[in-house]
Structure 1
Amino acid sequence: MSTRLDLLQSALESALAGKIRTSVRALGEITITVGAADYLEVARTLRDTPELRFEQLVDLCGVDYSEYRNQPWDGPRFCVVSHLLSLTHNWRLRLKVFCPDDDLPVLPSVNDIWPSANWFEREAFDLFGIVFDGHLDLRRILTDYGFIGHPMRKDFPTTGHVEMRYDPEQKRVIYQPVTIEQREIIPRVVREDNYGGLH
């Protein structure tokens, strides 16, 4: 296994010539992180270089690194992680790129490189608010058109911002501000005397 990873690591370092910021091996796979300015060029290189041939994008997702592992995170907040597959060489690779601006996270779209990125980028836009520049149909895919915010961000309230209900007077569904009060949810443990003991 390590010999195959060594071959892949060597091919990556040769093809990407200094564009890899970090490279981590874990669980039999390699994860590389590249800069946002190099993202498109790296993606094309990974697909088109004969020694790599990552012709398939298996998955692309957004990540909110604020409070990473329940600790303050010192770095860019939003990241896009792509899972790539080389059918030619039977290799897998994880490609990470951080959005340079936390207030308006923008990255170029890789939809022209891997068409399967289309819905994945729409999902990351919808759930995390990451904008993919050059995507021809970037719109919500899972939430409603009138939805406010991005529900997978760690600062999104668990109750949301609006709720919908049927209004019998208007005879239609309406949206209104959330009426649920925030409350702390702590499980209440009630045990009988001698719980779990032998009688």
Structure 2
Amino acid sequence: MTQKLDNLQAALTDVLGERIQRLQRERGEITITVKAADYLGVAQALHDDSRLQFEQLIDLCGMDMSTYRNEPWEGPRFMVVTHLLSVSLNWRVRLKVFAPDDDLPMVASVNDIWNSANWFEREAFDLYGIIFEGHQDLRRILTDYGFIGHPMRKDFPVSGHVEMRYDAETRRVVYQPVTIEPREITPRVVREDNYGGLH
């Protein structure tokens, strides 16, 4: 496994060079981070170069890094993480890119390179509001068409903004503002001397 990772790291460094901002080896995997300006070119090289041959995009997701591991985050807020597989060479790589603008998070679409990115990019757009420049059909995929906001952002309220219910009088589904009152729940601690039959 170590020799395979050494070979992959050497190939990545050789092909991508200075475009790799950061390369990590953890838990038997390699993760590379690139700038948003280099993202599309790096993706194309990962797919096309005979030394890498990443033919398949396995997964693509968005991330809101505003509080990472419950700690304040220094740096860009939104990140796109792509998992790639080379069937020919039997290796994997994780590709990370940060959207440079927190107010309008945008990175290039890789859908023209791997068509499996289509729905994944739509999902990241829907849930995080990340725009994939060049995507031909970027619209919501999981939430309703009239949905306001992006529910996986860490500043999105847990209860949401609106709720829908069936109205028997009008015989249709209606939207209305959320009626749930926010409250803090304090867990009740039960202490018994003989809990579980132990003395």
Shorter chain as normaliser: what TM range?
over 0.9
Question: 1:197 Cα shift?
Answer: 4.6
- 2:54 aligns to what? 54
Q: TM-score, normalised by structure 1?
A: 0.96
**2:44 counterpart residue number:** 44
Q: Which amino acid in structure 2 is aligned with residue 181 of structure 1?
A: E
TM-score calculated relative to the size of structure 2: 0.96
- 2:125 partner amino acid: F
Q: Can you list the C-alpha shifts for 1:155-185, whole angstroms capped at 9, x where unaligned?
A: 1111000001122222211001101000112
Identity percentage of aligned residues: 72
Match in the other structure for 2:190: 190
1:104-143 to 2 correspondences below 5 Å: 104-143=104-143
> Does structure 1 residue 12 correspond to structure 2 residue 12?
yes
Matched, 1:160 2:160: yes
CA positional deviation for 1:189: 2.3
Change over 3 Å in CA distance of 1:198–1:16 after alignment to 2: closer
Alignment match, 1:100: 100
1:24 counterpart SS class? strand
Q: In angstroms, what is the RMSD of aligned CA positions? A: 1.1
Query: Is 1:23 aligned to residue 23 of structure 2?
Result: yes
| 1:17 partner SS | helix
Match of 1:159, as an amino acid?
S
CA distance in 2, matches of 1:72, 1:191: 36
Query: What letter matches 1:91 in structure 2?
Result: W
- How many residues align? The count is 199
Task: State the partner residue of 1:3.
Answer: 3
* Secondary structure in 1 matching 2:7: helix
- Deviations along 1:54-90, whole A, 9 cap, x unmatched? 0110000001101101100000000000000011110
The Cα shift of 1:193 comes to 4.6
- CA distance in structure 1 between the aligned counterparts of 2:88 and 2:146, rounded to whole angstroms: 44
